[in-house]
Amino acid sequence: MVSVVAIGRAWAACDVGGGGNGITLLLLAPVIWVAAAVPWLVLHGTLGRRHRGAALAVGLVFTLWFTWFLVTWLGIPDSYPAPLCPGNVPPWWPSLLPT
């Protein structure tokens, strides 16, 4: 679960929340996993039977987009005052990826 790890690292780098972040991520992990697995099942059931390469390409693009979306939506909260992260963006976040 790259998304969960990246969200946790962003929260830790920007000092978001407190000690409850691990529990929050633990509860969110199954929901994120299901939300990421369902599109793969749909792709396999529809496009994957005839065009495996296309289904794999669409699935990988969706997974990359979904990971970026989750990290920027959950991992970088706009409303949280971030004294450690200017603009609420962790220092390790690549500058070429928008938040």
pLDDT for res 69: 92
pLDDT tops 80 at residue 45: yes
State the Cα–Cα distance between residues 56 and 58, nearest whole angstrom. Answer: 6
For 49-67, the pLDDT digits (tens) are 888 888 889 999 999 999 9
State the Cα–Cα distance between residues 7 and 25, nearest whole angstrom. Answer: 8
Q: Residue 88 CA to chain centroid, in angstroms?
A: 16
- The CA angle 30-33-39, to the nearest 5 degrees, is 140
Q: Residue 9 CA to chain centroid, in angstroms?
A: 11
pLDDT for res 1: 75
- Provide the residue type at 62 as one letter: F
Q: Find the distance separating the first CA and the last CA of the chain, reported in whole Å.
A: 20
pLDDT tops 90 at residue 21: no
pTM of the model: 0.79
pLDDT for res 20: 62
| Mean pLDDT value of segment 70-95 | 79
> Which residue in 98, 99, 96, 80 sits closest to 14, CA to CA?
80
pLDDT tops 70 at residue 85: yes
Show me where the domains of the chain are located. 2-88
